[in-house]
Chain A
Amino acid sequence: GDSVTQMEGPVTLSEEAFLTINCTYTATGYPSLFWYVQYPGEGLQLLLKATKADDKGSNKGFEATYRKETTSFHLEKGSVQVSDSAVYFCALYTQGGSEKLVFGKGTKLTVNP
């Protein structure tokens, strides 16, 4: 079945550091890929998405590129802020497949001033 593997957390960075959170996937078919973010005490919010190979999703300074050859969708940000502290989830959805959004286990990011 479809699955998503994220790098183990937690990740702790200083403000203005470069962020990478790795995500790889296994899917039967051609999935759409997503990053969701969960701030403390809140529900998940869609951060960015990509629907086909080589697409780059971007939002709030975060970027991720859909790499079909390496089945990856790594999340990056050039300069993190304290307000980026949250849990980040990689997810995939395959239309005509399981018809559900499959999430990774999440990676907790803490940014210190």
Chain B
Amino acid sequence: DSGVTQTPKHLITATGQRVTLRCSPRSGDLSVYWYQQSLDQGLQFLIQYYNGEERAKGNILERFSAQQFPDLHSELNLSSLELGDSALYFCASSLRQGPEKLFFGSGTQLSVL
């Protein structure tokens, strides 16, 4: 058990809908990272937050947004969903700003039908 909790584990929705994925980092970790894993693209970095502030941005679509709350949990919002958004979304946390050692949650499997 990595100590990183992601909910829900599975999500099935329709095109055009909006969903929210939630992540609770390990106790004491200040950084939260979001990754998207798909068969064709592999693991793609989406965004990082450190202590409530956006720290780095990767290949995140404009339809996607995220935030980190004062209690350090994070949410990833995906809107106007398309079939191609179907993927496994991972959250990871680390103590410091840099990703020298990431602890991953078990992911949220999103299926857009």
Taking beta carbons and an 8 Å cutoff, which residues of A are in contact with B?
A: 32, 41-46, 49, 89, 93, 95, 98-106
In the complex, the chain B residue whose C-beta lies closest to that of A103 is B43
Given contacts A99-B56, A100-B99, A101-B102, contact A43 B107 (CB under 8 A): yes
Is B49 positioned at the interface, with any CB of A under 8 Å from its CB?
Answer: no
The B interface, classified by DSSP as helix, strand, loop or mixed, is loop
Is the CB–CB distance between A95 and B98 below 8 Å? yes
Partner of A46, one of B33, B48, B58, B102: B102
Is B4 positioned at the interface, with any CB of A under 8 Å from its CB?
Answer: yes
Taking beta carbons and an 8 Å cutoff, which residues of B are in contact with A?
A: 2, 4, 33, 42-43, 45, 48, 55-56, 58, 90, 92, 97-102, 104-107
Is the CB–CB distance between A89 and B98 below 8 Å? no
Which residues of B are found within 8 Å of A42, using beta-carbon distances? 106
Is the CB–CB distance between A43 and B4 below 8 Å? yes
Which residues of B are found within 8 Å of A45, using beta-carbon distances? 2, 104
Give the Cβ gap from B43 to chain A, nearest Cβ, in Å.
4
- Further contacts, 15 of them, CB under 8 A, given A42-B106, A43-B92, A95-B98: A32-B100, A43-B90, A43-B107, A44-B104, A45-B2, A89-B43, A93-B100, A99-B48, A100-B58, A101-B45, A102-B45, A103-B42, A103-B43, A106-B42, A106-B43
9 A-B pairs with C-beta separation under 8 A: A32-B100, A43-B4, A43-B92, A43-B105, A44-B43, A45-B2, A49-B101, A99-B55, A100-B48
Give bound CA distance, A107 to B2, whole Å.
22
Give the Cβ gap from B41 to chain A, nearest Cβ, in Å.
9
Give bound CA distance, A101 to B58, whole Å.
10
Is the CB–CB distance between A46 and B101 below 8 Å? yes
In the complex, the chain B residue whose C-beta lies closest to that of A51 is B100
Which residues of A are found within 8 Å of B102, using beta-carbon distances? 44, 46, 101
